[in-house]
Structure 1
């Protein structure tokens, strides 16, 4: 384990779930009330929820943040298909079994958001509520999402690029410090960076305004030319940066990239899933300045969710739980207190 990470997180615990060893961090009184499970995105770790774990501990809320499959201290299977929705949601069910909990509220950011919105569709009896942070509940695409992105944005669009075996894995791992610094910048830094010229909006939104032939998101070129000595808008302090860098230097990025390599498989296998979420409390927390998952991507969620509240975090870019932790903590704990009182 990274020494920097160990200094900033609760003691790590391990559970044998769904055929893997899952590392997780737990606070609050186990068995008291409905647990809150935090699910991270890419390229992140359970460490991304450090501020929320502290707040939950102070409030006496039972909360858990796992390193998800492929990340951190959790197992990293070799097979790409081991990272599909069945496995990723199944891991969370296995974690509930390990914790002795019938249900949980699942809170997810970025890729973690995609997973938690799948929980009531795939495992409704184990889901007490859902909190989406930045990531909305999306409609199933009318066609294979990789084919859709390739057609609209070309081979250099980062999700399309991620489909190539080993290519992105090696590029991101070549200088982990640079990669983490490049990703984790505040909204004001991203607004003036070269990648600000790339297409905006959620690339998975079938109603999006990205037209065929529009300029591509040449992510690898942007990463290569970015000067990591540029400290404007850096999100992480040195100890936080070290926790991410030391961990990804040990694990690489393949586990997380393999989540992206299952977009087509997930689409093919989701045809018969429900298209609505009813009789379940849901909260959507939007970030005002998130260019990839803007508040507008959540505009139509109310048509597909029967019990939905929406809250906007102003002045935040994509890394909302780390960029505006106090506001996210307030929103989440207030909602939990109303919808799941102790």
Structure 2
């Protein structure tokens, strides 16, 4: 039987960077806080195990619902989800809390955001933790052109650029969608194969159309945990999160003059052995681009590492914070 997930703290709300943001805070307000930034399709609840463990270890921990997700507002304009807004929300959260600097920890899309923080807002960053998501230098061409050239129109990020299409497909049966995404490594691997020949594929929308939940024995979440995700996305839909993807080109264009290295802050990269989306090999060059970096591999984990292997992730975070940011 899976252990019972710890409850999240009660949400707190604040007007931040033009939106009403929800965030969850735990632990003593001492030392350098750690801000946990979720990915897609998740929200703050994906950090439930880390919020509890970090607070119990005496750490000040903050987990926001980022814009477009959970209890936080969802602006209509696609441009409201660009990297300037996403990083600006985190700066605004620090301002609201009266905090000068924080350690920013991000998974999946949240990882892309936190690696931009020392480039765009270096004065507010004490440290960075990438969970599954490595630091990725700016591409020589815009990402959507590159993805389209490499993988074709059906690659899910290219597919996400079509207004309303993926939004409707994911929202048509939210329970099926969340079961499709939230799977253990074998199920995640299956999500990235196509057709009878099992060729590698990034056409997730096709995989979702073929997916039969009743035949799936690779579920990651308990029934109660799945219910939290399903009820939340039934209420919010997926457009807010997909709009982050619709800013790939805008972010690429506006990031032309940003630094290309992360220097001057301690960084930690937590890799997952069986992540199909973000394999450990993507982190191979990070030591050339970051002056102060530690890397740790979590074995037998797929993409949802903080939920798949919470005890290992918690131990890694608590050890690193204790060494680099003693209270």
| Alignment match of 1:164 (pick from 162, 165, 181) | 162
Match of 2:16 in 1: 17
In the other structure, the counterpart of 1:283 is 268
Query: What is aligned with 2:47?
Result: 49
What's the CA shift string for 1:221-280, capped at 9, x where partnerless?
210110011341100001100000000000000000000000000000000000111111
1:187-198 pair list within 5 angstroms: 187-191=185-189, 193=190, 195-197=192-194
Shift of 1:194: 5.7
Deviations 1:92-148 (A, max 9, x none): 000001111100000000000000000000000000000000000001000010001
Task: Give structure 2 stretches of 5+ with no counterpart.
Answer: none
How far apart, in 2, do the equivalents of 1:194 and 1:277 lie? 33
**1:228 paired residue among 189, 213, 218:** 213
Map of 1:124-163 to 2, 5 A cutoff? 124-163=122-161
For normalisation by structure 2, the TM-score amounts to 0.95
5 Å-filtered alignment, 1:242-257, equals 242-257=227-242
Deviation at 1:175, TM superposition (A): 0.2
Residue 59 of structure 1: how far off its partner (Å) = 0.7
Contact residue 109 and residue 134 of structure 1 kept, 8 A: yes
Matched pairs, number: 320
Question: Which of residues 294, 304, 307 is equivalent to 2:292?
Answer: 307
Q: Give how far 1:216 is off.
A: 5.1
The 1:259–1:340 alpha-carbon spacing in structure 2 relative to 1, beyond 3 Å, is same
Contact kept in structure 1, 2:6 and 2:48, CA below 8 Å:
no
CA distance in 2, matches of 1:159, 1:229: 27
Look up the match of 1:273.
258
Aligned to 2:111: 113
The C-alpha deviation readout for 1:150-202, integer Å capped at 9, x for no partner, is 111111100000000000000000000000000010102233x263359xxxx
Measure, in 1, the Cα distance between the counterparts of 2:183 and 2:82.
28
Alignment partners' CA distance in 2, 1:216 and 1:225: 13
Shift of 1:282: 0.2
Looking at structure 1, the residues matched to 82 and 153 of structure 2 have their Cα atoms a distance apart, in angstroms, of 22
Q: 2:279 aligns with which of 294, 318, 331?
A: 294
How far the C-alpha of 1:219 sits from its partner, in A, is: 2.0
Q: Which residue is equivalent to 1:211?
A: none
Equivalent pair of 1:140/1:267 in contact (CA under 8 Å): yes
1-side partners of 2:106 and 2:54: how far apart? 16
Secondary structure of 2:230's aligned partner: helix
Q: Aligned Cα RMSD in Å?
A: 1.5
Given that 1:190 and 1:196 are in contact with CA atoms closer than 8 Å, whether structure 2 keeps it comes out as no
- d(CA) in 2 for partners of 1:8 and 1:338? 28
Match of 1:219 among 204, 218, 226: 204
CA distance in 1, matches of 2:44, 2:214: 27
Q: Following superposition of structure 1 onto structure 2, how do residues 169-180 of structure 1 map, counting pairs within 5 Å? A: 169-180=167-178
Contact 2:272 2:302 (8 Å CA) reproduced: yes
SS of residue in 1 equivalent to 2:150: helix
SS at match of 1:24: strand
TM superposition shift of 1:57: 1.5
- Structure 1 CA distance for aligned equivalents of residues 164 and 52 of structure 2: 37
